[in-house]
């Protein structure tokens, strides 16, 4: 690829990432990852990306696991691992292995976060990494006749102390170990600690790096966004769940239902997965939300700039008639817009001709990366609803390139003479737009 084209793509990417940088500054992200990530080939790359997030003003809490390291330590001592319902049974001997493995893993992660060598993404930086007894634990106890021993669950998160560290621009690194008020040490699951911390901090995002690209539909395609209710239905059906997803998905569902803004499931083997998920419109993993991620609403004057950006490519290729910024400002109340995670990604306008009980649906546009998400249908339904509320009986469109789309949705081709008189007088013969009408 020519250098000039590469430069243009780089500039375009930085500009496209700017809204996300502004949106995430000062927000709290809780990132949970297993021992496979901590010991994997991409561990240092993950440290680079965490450093970049912190440099961009993200308040970052990292919760690491150490399951494979614990297994190795058990094997070294000739001990057998024991699990029940996906949770480790921790007797006194296993607890010693847990403490040893956790300590080594934490030190290694902290070392990776502390690098600042020249010619690396962390050159010239100094990431202050802190930790402490921020989580108190309680024993899981006996379940189904199985005594979990020193396996624990979260009793309390000292959120104000974590927040105080984050206020000092520190990155908080936490191990899934907790101490009870009696001074006993308990082994906890990484995913449960990350969930509890995210809820306590009212985090913007809870992120799990897992052994899958995210949630997949029955055809094996990535589900980019899903609500907690739909994710719970998938969990109950038990379809397409890997070992990690079976553990992490329940935590993600509970977190978004208890106030965490978003939960993300990202492939742990995807280099740069965090950056691609958070700084590109399409992302690379699955995002869980309490409510649907796409939101329809009526446009306001503050949307004019974003609206212009959405329709500009379709104006440039002749699909849409050009509209000046002044015209958009004058007609902004006619527009319905659709947002994806707070970013405007589609629009449509309604121009009523009340005397003839007709209305035009115009300026229908959806950004390319979301054209398979059914946003056109959502906009059409909203425009039809607005039209009926005005007493409109006929909805029409003028199109040069999307005739099939409207035909498939109940519109029928009509001659220009069927247009309302005022619109007929404005009809641009040179564009040769086809007229389609639908009876409401």
Average pLDDT, the chain: 91
The CATH number that domain 294-439 falls under is 3.40.630.30
Write the pLDDT tens digit of every residue in 45-79.
999 999 999 999 999 999 999 999 999 999 999 99
- Across-strand partners of 433? none
| Count of CB atoms situated within 10 Å of the CB of 141 | 12
Write the pLDDT tens digit of every residue in 3-15.
888 888 888 888 8
CA-CA distance, 184 to 186, in Å (whole number)? 7
Q: Which CATH number is 3-289's, of 3.40.50.300, 3.40.1160.10, 3.40.50.720, 3.30.750.210?
A: 3.40.1160.10
Phi/psi of residue 107, each to 5°?
-60, -40
Closest-CA residue to 78 (of 102, 96, 105)? 96
What's the pLDDT score for residue 3?
82
Write the pLDDT tens digit of every residue in 379-418.
999 999 999 999 999 999 999 888 899 999 999 999 999 9
- Given a contact cutoff of 8 angstroms between Cβ atoms, the answer to whether 224 and 282 are in contact is yes
Q: What is the pTM of this model?
A: 0.76
- Higher-pLDDT residue of 423 and 429 is 423
Model confidence at 19: pLDDT above 90: no
CA-CA distance, 361 to 349, in Å (whole number)? 6
The ranges assigned to domains in the chain are 3-289, 294-439
Query: Which residues are within 8 A (CB) of 158 and not within 5 positions of it... i.e. 6 or more apart?
Result: 133, 134, 135, 136
Write the pLDDT tens digit of every residue in 319-331.
888 899 999 999 9
CA-CA distance, 203 to 195, in Å (whole number)? 10
Write the pLDDT tens digit of every residue in 183-194.
999 999 999 999
Mean pLDDT of 310-335: 91
Model confidence at 125: pLDDT above 80: no
Closest-CA residue to 187 (of 16, 277, 78, 70)? 70
Mean pLDDT of 84-106: 94
Mean pLDDT of 97-126: 84
Question: Could you give the percent of the chain with pLDDT greater than 70?
Answer: 98
Write the pLDDT tens digit of every residue in 218-232.
888 898 889 999 999
Structure confidence at residue 117 as a pLDDT band (50, 70, 90): low
Longest dimension (CA), the chain: 89
Q: Are strands 394-399 and 358-366 parallel, antiparallel or unpaired?
A: parallel
Write the pLDDT tens digit of every residue in 270-293.
999 999 999 887 789 999 998 877
What's the pLDDT score for residue 320?
87
């Amino acid at each position: 690829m020519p250098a000039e084209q590469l430069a243009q793509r780089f500039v375009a990417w930085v500009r496209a990432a700017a809204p996300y940088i502004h949106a995430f500054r000062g927000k709290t992200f809780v990132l949970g990852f297993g021992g496979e990530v901590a010991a994997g080939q991409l561990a240092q790359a993950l440290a680079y990306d965490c450093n970049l997030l912190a440099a961009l003003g993200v308040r970052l809490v990292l919760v690491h696991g150490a399951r494979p390291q614990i297994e190795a330590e058990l094997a070294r001592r000739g001990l057998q691992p024991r699990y029940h319902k996906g949770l480790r049974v921790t007797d006194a001997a296993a607890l010693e292995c847990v403490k040893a493995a956790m300590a080594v893993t934490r030190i290694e992660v902290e070392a990776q976060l502390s690098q600042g060598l020249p010619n690396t993404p962390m050159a010239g930086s100094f990431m202050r990494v802190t930790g402490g007894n921020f989580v108190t634990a309680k024993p899981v106890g006996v379940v189904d006749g199985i005594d979990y021993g020193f396996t624990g669950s979260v009793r309390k998160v000292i959120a104000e102390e974590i927040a105080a560290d984050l206020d000092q621009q520190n990155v908080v690194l936490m191990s899934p170990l907790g101490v009870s008020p009696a001074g006993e040490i308990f082994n906890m699951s990484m995913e449960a600690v990350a969930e509890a911390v995210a809820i306590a901090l009212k985090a913007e995002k809870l992120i799990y790096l897992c052994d899958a690209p995210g949630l997949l539909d029955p055809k094996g395609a990535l589900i980019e966004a899903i609500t907690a209710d739909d994710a719970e239905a998938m969990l109950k059906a038990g379809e397409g769940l890997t070992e990690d997803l079976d553990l992490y998905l329940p935590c993600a569902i509970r977190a978004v239902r208890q106030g965490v803004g978003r939960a993300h499931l990202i492939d742990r083997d995807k280099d740069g997965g965090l950056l691609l998920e958070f700084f590109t419109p399409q992302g690379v993993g699955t995002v869980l939300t309490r409510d649907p991620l796409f939101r329809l609403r009526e446009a306001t004057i503050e949307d004019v700039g974003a609206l212009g950006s959405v329709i500009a490519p379709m104006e440039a290729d002749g699909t849409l008639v050009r509209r000046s910024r002044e015209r958009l400002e004058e007609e902004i109340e006619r527009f319905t817009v659709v947002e994806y995670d707070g970013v405007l990604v589609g629009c449509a306008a309604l121009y009523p001709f009340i005397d003839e009980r007709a209305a035009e649906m115009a300026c229908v546009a959806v950004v390319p990366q979301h054209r398979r998400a059914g946003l056109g249908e959502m906009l059409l339904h909203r425009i039809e609803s607005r039209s009926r509320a005005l007493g409109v009986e006929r909805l029409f469109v003028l199109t040069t390139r999307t005739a099939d789309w409207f035909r498939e949705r109940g519109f029928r081709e009509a001659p220009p003479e069927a247009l309302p008189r005022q619109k007929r007088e404005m009809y641009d013969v040179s564009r040769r737009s086809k007229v389609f009408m639908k009876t409401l």
